[in-house]
Structure 1
Amino acid sequence: MPPSPAYRPEPRFFDLGDEFGDAVQAAAFPQTILRFRNDRAAATVGLDGLTEAEWIAAFGRFEPLPAQPGPVAMRYHGHQFRTYNPDLGDGRGFLAAQLRADDGRLLDLGTKGSGTTPWSRGGDGRLTLKGGVREVLAAEMLEAQGVPTSRAFSLIETGEALERGDEPSPTRSAVLVRLSHSHIRFGTFQRAAYLGRKDQIEALLGHARFLYHPQVAAGDAPGFLQAVVEASARLTAAWVAAGFVHGVLNTDNLNVTGESFDYGPWRFMPHYEPGFTAAYFDQTGLYAFARQPEAVFWALTQLGGALKLVADAELLTEALNGFGPAYIRELRAAFLRRLGVKSLGEAADQRLLDATLALLREGGEALRWEPLFFDWFTGFSSSARALGGLRKASYQGEAFDAFRFALFEHEPDRPERLEHPVFTAAEPQEMLIDEVEAIWAAIDAGDDWTPFERKIACIRETGAARC
């Protein structure tokens, strides 16, 4: 496979040494049928020129890309629903490659469903095709909404019949590849702390600081934690503004770059419901919609605890205390972006945030989350469109009057975006569970990928319209 000039391999994780991962091999799958290929993402790392045969060789059989050492299953621990688990690690995935993107960032190609590893804990190391389809849809929707997210890079059906307890079985199998800005998790640091390995904490800190937060001075653990806190606050605010529930905010599912990844039982919330959960097994609502900031902060405190081996606890606490103010600041900014208006200052921006949430709460099931941001995109410029649309009955009363006043205080941000054909539709693109299930049903029943492909095209068009 002749590499493109834009392909820049840089496998830096291996600089850490063999105590941080295990060399593994991918499973030998009976079939490799390409179902999704993200050429838009591939172009950013110089891999869009691969032929289909080369793509399948790289991401179905996992023949190493040029100048890449081969797959490694990363070692980490983590809290799962706040219970510590020292038996974690990449159990059905591995780091396949690292390479520089066209924007200079170091990115990972990581897998899901690529076979067993030393950390599989008795599992089969596989991914259901339905799970792969769901991850592609989640990543595409979040990217279109401006949420910091990994990108679904490849989905290949692998021809095995899997038994699962939480969906009809046997079910089809697949292997997914994601393009992500680091798989260094909070749990990667927790493992080193659990083992009492100050040297490993120092090695991880130096590695992650240099590659992902270079603005932090060498050896400055509190400064590194502050950078992770701010990135995590930005991510959490973006989830909330998108009405998104990740579902499983364990410390092995949060990374040091503040980028969302590993989409399992995710959901987009239909309408304002603070207690809305994504995972059927989240019986107490620990990771419910409105508790996500709390969950992320709790996870950050575990990262801070691991860093106590190399830093002063008071300085780490000071860094952690920055999460609340950073989250509120980022939440205001995220709502402004979603509404397509410019900042007017902290007080006015907070009024708009509060009024938007109050209107969504007052609107109940009649006012879905995503349509509000669609109807009122760029504020005053959308007045006629919103007040004459399908939800005009929701746009009256005291809560609406307060929302409209707060919104119209703000200047529209590039109102010419409303000229895009996306905004002539009566309804926005959403990703509610009924549609996700319908897309899967078409694939499952008749191998019809048309709804899946059409949905991705529509999501991308919406993302282009809002950018």
Structure 2
Amino acid sequence: MRSPLQPAKFSPANDILALQPDFADPVTAADFPQTILRFRNDRWATTVGLEGLSDDDWLRHFGRFAPLDGSLPQPLALRYHGHQFRVYNPDIGDGRGFLYAQLRDGAGRLLDLGTKGSGQTPYSRFGDGRLTLKGGVREILATEMLEALGVNTSKTFSIIETGEALARNDEPSPTRAAVMVRLSHSHIRIGSFQRAAYFDDKALLERLTDYALTKLYKETPGENPPAQLLGRVVERAADLAASYMVAGFVHGVLNSDNINVTGESFDYGPWRFTPLWEPAFTAAYFDHAGLYAFGRQAEAIHWDVAQLAVSLRPIVEAEPLIQQLERFPQLYGKAMVRRFCWRLGVKPTGDASPMIEAAVRGLAASETQIDRFFQDWRGGDPRACSDYAGEAWAPFRDAISDFEESQVKDHPYWSDASPCSMHIDEVEAIWSAIDKDDEWAPLHAKVAAIRRMGDALGDAPPLP
């Protein structure tokens, strides 16, 4: 069973101001025609002491962006650069979002409340600074599913419809608009360091490094803080890449401005869950080369982390950074074992790599759906199922026999006829009900089903 989220008292913070004046620009939220509350995540609001807000106060803070007492006096549009599909872009930053507030949970962890669709900023370029309601609904589904599957992800905290009609080239227009708030363990990106390095701002690089270590990792800087930080990012990023694979998730846009230095996944645009174990499966229609395909995500994240190492070079020698980067493949392999065994419900004893390789080959050869496989082998009696009797599954059947079950199967979820999945046809059906009939029941039912699955899976394995 999943550990319950711990309630906390509201504890505002504004630690990000230590990075000013070179890190962000004060901005003002758009004045929306309407604020219609569509989703409030009271489950996570409890962990930061905001579950007691009335709906009117919720709209005032997360639709009109009245400051939270004791936190930031004004929203901040963060400055950053980044490689976008491996092409460096110095003309980006928070173009349709901002950092609205900071606060701490009951364990003292520093968290951000950041927005998407809150209006134009100095970095909007030619954009309108808005978010489609469909984009907000998709973000709810992505973050809820990833959280249930043990991925370290931001949480969709609030969705408020704004009464605007938006024109978009990649979906039917006009379409409804929304403003989203996410709860995240920082919005410091690899691209934040890239921008400081681009301007050869060693002082900002040092402040960013100190902020990340002391505020986000809660560590005392040692003899080599940049290498110390890179080591932590390598560990978290390798685990993130493995968690995507075990979840069957494709982020779609793993640019360096979308990689958080805490290793937390966030900012979901053209995401997908692949039904089958297809390494070439892509989420973004514009990813023509398959750079961020399902099977290339570890490579992409490792490449992005290398850009952090490059950005730290103005304040540290190369050798300790190289040593940290070289740990990634081994850490990724260990994380795959840890997470695959967790979802499978077995103890990761001995060398589990051959078992996982046999499972992947079986999935690919038999075209068994990923979610179906984990549901059957963790919750059912797959040896009695003809689907796994063929030659494609023989190596896995032999390998798995050496592993002990690690968790009980007493949750009723494991008796369900079908696994809880999140494939594109269901995503579109949920949105269609909202778009055509303003029917939100399918969305709420899906969120409840996802959380039920997450409760059955239990807590994800921690980093060693």
User: TM above 0.5, one fold?
Assistant: yes
- Equivalent positions of 1:72-151 (< 5 A) are 72-151=76-155
2:161 and 2:378 map into 1 onto residues whose CA distance is 39
| Counterpart for residue 412 of structure 1 | 405
Name the aligned partner's letter for residue 262 of structure 2. T
- Equivalent positions of 1:196-215 (< 5 A) are 196-215=200-219
- Equivalent positions of 1:16-55 (< 5 A) are 16-55=19-58
- Equivalent positions of 1:63-462 (< 5 A) are 63-68=66-71, 69-215=73-219, 217-218=221-222, 219-345=224-350, 347=351, 349-364=352-367, 367-377=368-378, 382-383=380-381, 386-387=382-383, 392-415=385-408, 418-462=409-453
1:318 and 1:153 map into 2 onto residues whose CA distance is 38
Name the aligned partner's letter for residue 409 of structure 1. D
2:31 and 2:126 map into 1 onto residues whose CA distance is 18
Query: SS at the partner of 1:25?
Result: coil
1:408 and 1:213 map into 2 onto residues whose CA distance is 39
Check conservation: 2:252, 2:271, Cα contact below 8 A.
yes
Q: Structure 1 stretch 56-65 or stretch 219-228: which is displaced more?
A: 219-228
Q: CA deviation at 1:408?
A: 2.3
Query: SS at the partner of 2:108?
Result: coil
RMSD value, Cα = 1.2
Check conservation: 2:8, 2:46, Cα contact below 8 A.
no
Query: SS at the partner of 1:280?
Result: coil
Q: CA deviation at 1:10?
A: 1.1
Check conservation: 1:216, 1:224, Cα contact below 8 A.
no
Name the aligned partner's letter for residue 184 of structure 1. I
Paired residues in the alignment total 450
Query: SS at the partner of 2:83?
Result: strand
Q: CA deviation at 1:216?
A: 5.7
| Counterpart for residue 7 of structure 1 | 10
Distance 1:363 1:5, change over 3 A: closer
2:188 and 2:175 map into 1 onto residues whose CA distance is 31
Query: SS at the partner of 2:314?
Result: coil
Check conservation: 2:383, 2:389, Cα contact below 8 A.
no
TM-score, scaled relative to structure 2: 0.95
2:431 and 2:400 map into 1 onto residues whose CA distance is 38
Check conservation: 2:145, 2:422, Cα contact below 8 A.
yes
Q: CA deviation at 1:9?
A: 0.6
Query: SS at the partner of 2:413?
Result: helix
Runs of 4+ in 1 over 4 A off after TM superposition: none
Query: SS at the partner of 2:286?
Result: coil
Check conservation: 1:208, 1:256, Cα contact below 8 A.
yes
TM-score, scaled relative to structure 1: 0.95
1:150 and 1:312 map into 2 onto residues whose CA distance is 33
1:156 and 1:460 map into 2 onto residues whose CA distance is 22
Residues 261-287 of structure 1 show CA distances to partners (whole Å, capped at 9, x for unaligned) of: 000000000111110000000010000
Percentage of identical aligned residues: 54
2:400 and 2:13 map into 1 onto residues whose CA distance is 46
Query: SS at the partner of 1:125?
Result: coil
Q: CA deviation at 1:220?
A: 1.8
1:42 and 1:363 map into 2 onto residues whose CA distance is 43
Check conservation: 1:216, 1:223, Cα contact below 8 A.
no
Distance 1:56 1:344, change over 3 A: same
Gap runs ≥5 in structure 2: 1-6, 459-464
Q: CA deviation at 1:352?
A: 1.6
2:128 and 2:314 map into 1 onto residues whose CA distance is 36
2:63 and 2:115 map into 1 onto residues whose CA distance is 10
Q: CA deviation at 1:320?
A: 0.5
Which structure has more RCO (C-alpha within 8 Å, separation ≥ 6)? Answer: 2
